Structure 1
Amino acid sequence: MATVRPFKAIRPAQKYADKVASLPYDVMNRQEASKMAAENPYSFLHICRSEIDLPHQKDPYDKSVYEKARENIANFLDKGIFTQDEEPALYIYRQVMDGRVQTGIVGTVSVDEYQNNTIKKHEFTRVEKELDRIRHFDVCDANTEPVFLTYRDDKRIRVLIEGWASGRKPTYDFTGAGGIRHTLWVVDDPQTIESLTSLFGEIPSLYIADGHHRSASACKVGLKRREETPDYTGEEEFNFFMAVIFPDADLHIFDYNRVVKDLNGNTVESLMEKIKAAGFKIDKKGEDVYRPEAKHCFGMFLEGNWYRLTAKEEIIPDHVIDSLDVAILQNKILGPILGIEDPRTDKRIDFVGGIRGLEELEKRCREDMKIAFAVHPVEIEDLLTVSDNDLVMPPKSTWFEPKLGSGLFLHQL
């Protein structure tokens, strides 16, 4: 059963919330972060991407970068930009994007339940990215950004959350980058907190939607602190890490598309013949953008034209992973025909989140790529099924929007 605990959040004073809030650390590079924060001394990018305040430091993983993040947190607290709640609370966090609403709970979850797979995963992690956030969390003595979790919708939790939010004025309510509205309520009533934690305690599993590296890093920091505190009781804050937990019914997964640099020695004609031989029906759609309308349909953009590729039933495996469209595309076209054997490391392939639109695929094909593939989005139930079976999604399978606002809450370890 899932543990969700209240905590004493470090968070922006109300008047600074809209200025502090930023995109997550991992959706931009250093140059983009510098530009975003250039005219805003309150931006959380000064903490989650603190290398922007050290222009002389070229190594983003140098010890000085993490020390600068810790220094900036202390400065925000000293100046009253940040405050810390005096009593543990849960937080209702709502995001609205293009009229679509997702409402969840911010709390802390258990390191042990990450270890025993009560908190389920669907991605591999990379060691270097884990090490970065381990150092960041450890030096800052805080989970500085939350993990994005989901659960199978529970009407009782939804009713309790909506009842609290509908009857009270929010602590924060502003529109941030990308037109995303962020609204937050502090749940400080002990009885309501008890009700929510009890209901989550009846949920068999939580699922990582986004933030596998943050989860793994937060867990390893907690285990490191245990080694350093041999008489730990299990109740210390380092035994828990911060998460935003949304019901699955609220979430929207965008497509995650592919662009490839060349045709791997094929002509257009030979490529088409090989795709047909691999088990796809090809329909030319012309110059107008074609978006796949169903599972097992793909868009292909090549030399100014869009094509619909439809996988024939006989090539669709009866397997939870191999039947995903991203897997069919990799196993039938990208690997055997275009020579992309390992999409995690091959420099000839790149990935484009669906939030950028299919026009971005056309743009990339005009600039630096030769061919693009548009994929029908993975469904949330597919992700949950993969996680329940302790399997791993193919790389770059899911793109969640909206992204969580960073800087609205920190969890002190």
Structure 2
Amino acid sequence: MANIKPFRAIRPTRDKAALATSRSYDQYSKRELKAQLSYNPYSFLHIIKPGYVNDINLSGEEKFKMVHKTYQDFKDQEIYKKDTKPNYYLHQKSYGKDVFWGIIAAVHVEDYQNNIIKKHEDTLKEREELFGNYLGIAGFNAEPVLLTYPDNNSLNRIYRKYSQHRAEYEFMTHTKRLHKMWIIDDEFDIETISEEFKKMNAIYIADGHHRTASSNYLANKLKTENPNHTGEECYNYFMGYLISDANLKISEFNRFVKDLNGYTSEQFLEKLSEFYTIELKGEKVYKPSKKHHFSMYLNGNYYSLYLKNTNYKINNALSDLDTHIIHKTILKPILGIYDLKTDPRIKCLPAILDKKQLKKEVDSGGFKVGFGLFPVSVDQLKAVVNEDLRMPPKSTYIEPKLRSGLTIFEIND
């Protein structure tokens, strides 16, 4: 059963919510970051990058301590305040036709240890330790881990009920994302939410594997240092944003390669024909319409690539993924690309950036060929996890992307 609980969030006052919250630090360009830090004194980015105003460059534990101090300063100035009782927090993010709903809650690390919280990526030990030490010194989670659960009618009814009332926060960002948040403080609703999650045998990490692993690292470390450990201390929990799998959106990462590994275009197409039925589609934008179907842009033309099942065998959930298929049939054997993470000849970009992405990236001269993929489904992702396998790199671009500093969970509370 999944063990979640309400918590007393530290969050910005209503009048400062739009100014205080931010995108994840690594999503800002240098220019955007400078503008935010120079002209918005309430931005949570000041906590993440302390010392900017006084032109102080910090690193390591010294920086972590300054993060904690700046966070305390924000609370002392009452930019952030702590709720008087534990609550769940209902958050809605919308743009265009996409509307995402989720519950922000405290999630127990034991569920991660016991494989109730399931992962689709492996993590690096050095990053777990680095961020775990950061959490221990800074003392808070400011951006929740994105978790997904099976669609649930009881939870959906609670969401609809609160959506009829005025939100505690309602603000639009300059990227045209509308954010709303309601405080779920009714004891019956809180109990219902907790009980519904207790009925779930598994929930899945959608985004935030290293944050989860780091929280687990810190919990284990503090457990050994606490002779009176009970398992209910705040350091045993991390902040999660729990969203129905029916409400999750997965987009694809397209692949771009700088050369054809010494082949001419004609030789390359001939090599592809071993695994694919190839059709020339011309200059008009063309995208794949189902799994095991790819688009390709080469020499000013789009092509469709249909996988020949006779030459490629699907024997588990991993081999069913298009990201695995393209690696095993094209990138590795033909183009000589063995590792997406380290090979400088390949670049992976989320397809949401531009409908004409293949054409623009290749025609710009930076790449010789581009491949468009069909998005991985939630069922495919779960199947990989349930077989205790791992997703290939750059398989999923998962939304919603969450804001930092909307709610904060204090580890040392």
TM range (shorter): over 0.9
> How do residues 81-92 of structure 1 correspond to structure 2 at under 5 angstroms?
81-92=79-90
Q: Paired residue for 2:284?
A: 288
> How do residues 126-205 of structure 1 correspond to structure 2 at under 5 angstroms?
126-166=124-164, 168-205=165-202
Unaligned runs of 5+ in 2: none
CA distance in 1, matches of 2:94, 2:181: 12
Identical counterparts, % of pairs:
37
- Secondary structure class of the residue paired with 2:47: helix
Unaligned runs of 5+ in 1: none
**Inter-CA distance 32–319: structure 2 relative to 1 (3 Å threshold):** farther
362-371 vs 44-53, greater mean Cα deviation: 44-53
Q: Paired residue for 1:305?
A: 301
Q: Paired residue for 2:13?
A: 13
Kindly state the Cα deviation for residue 165 of structure 1 after the two structures are TM-superposed: 2.9
Q: Is 2:100–2:400's contact at 8 Å kept on the other side of the alignment?
A: no
Question: What code does the residue aligned with 2:168 have?
Answer: T
**Inter-CA distance 37–346: structure 2 relative to 1 (3 Å threshold):** same
Kindly state the Cα deviation for residue 296 of structure 1 after the two structures are TM-superposed: 1.0
**Inter-CA distance 30–234: structure 2 relative to 1 (3 Å threshold):** farther
**Inter-CA distance 170–67: structure 2 relative to 1 (3 Å threshold):** same
CA distance in 2, matches of 1:117, 1:208: 11
**Inter-CA distance 52–30: structure 2 relative to 1 (3 Å threshold):** farther
CA distance in 2, matches of 1:217, 1:36: 28
Kindly state the Cα deviation for residue 361 of structure 1 after the two structures are TM-superposed: 3.3
Q: Paired residue for 1:65?
A: 63
- Secondary structure class of the residue paired with 1:178: coil
Q: Is 1:355–1:401's contact at 8 Å kept on the other side of the alignment?
A: no
Q: Is 1:148–1:243's contact at 8 Å kept on the other side of the alignment?
A: yes
Note the alpha carbon deviations across 1:336-372, whole angstroms, 9 max, x for none: 1111111122222111012212433333321422221
Kindly state the Cα deviation for residue 52 of structure 1 after the two structures are TM-superposed: 5.5
Q: Is 1:260–1:372's contact at 8 Å kept on the other side of the alignment?
A: yes
What is the count of residue pairs matched by the alignment? 409
Question: What code does the residue aligned with 1:300 have?
Answer: M
Note the alpha carbon deviations across 1:33-87, whole angstroms, 9 max, x for none: 3344432222222234558668563x7x533332232122112111111111111
CA distance in 2, matches of 1:231, 1:63: 27
Question: What code does the residue aligned with 1:308 have?
Answer: S
Kindly state the Cα deviation for residue 159 of structure 1 after the two structures are TM-superposed: 1.1
- Secondary structure class of the residue paired with 2:175: helix
Q: Is 2:38–2:53's contact at 8 Å kept on the other side of the alignment?
A: no
> How do residues 7-406 of structure 1 correspond to structure 2 at under 5 angstroms?
7-28=7-28, 32-50=32-50, 57=57, 62-166=60-164, 168-277=165-274, 279-314=275-310, 315-365=312-362, 366-406=364-404
Question: What code does the residue aligned with 2:195 have?
Answer: S
Q: Is 1:54–1:65's contact at 8 Å kept on the other side of the alignment?
A: no
Kindly state the Cα deviation for residue 131 of structure 1 after the two structures are TM-superposed: 3.8
Kindly state the Cα deviation for residue 149 of structure 1 after the two structures are TM-superposed: 0.3
- Secondary structure class of the residue paired with 1:258: strand
**Inter-CA distance 331–49: structure 2 relative to 1 (3 Å threshold):** farther
Q: Is 1:123–1:212's contact at 8 Å kept on the other side of the alignment?
A: yes
**Inter-CA distance 102–341: structure 2 relative to 1 (3 Å threshold):** same
CA distance in 2, matches of 1:369, 1:256: 16
Q: Is 2:291–2:322's contact at 8 Å kept on the other side of the alignment?
A: yes
Q: Is 2:108–2:237's contact at 8 Å kept on the other side of the alignment?
A: yes
Question: What code does the residue aligned with 1:176 have?
Answer: T
Note the alpha carbon deviations across 1:291-349, whole angstroms, 9 max, x for none: 11111111111222211111112225132101111110011000111111111222221
40-49 vs 2-11, greater mean Cα deviation: 40-49
**Inter-CA distance 197–216: structure 2 relative to 1 (3 Å threshold):** same
CA distance in 1, matches of 2:365, 2:32: 20
CA RMSD across the alignment: 1.9
Question: What code does the residue aligned with 2:67 have?
Answer: A
111-120 vs 344-353, greater mean Cα deviation: 344-353
Question: What code does the residue aligned with 2:256 have?
Answer: V
CA distance in 1, matches of 2:227, 2:31: 42
Question: What code does the residue aligned with 1:138 have?
Answer: G
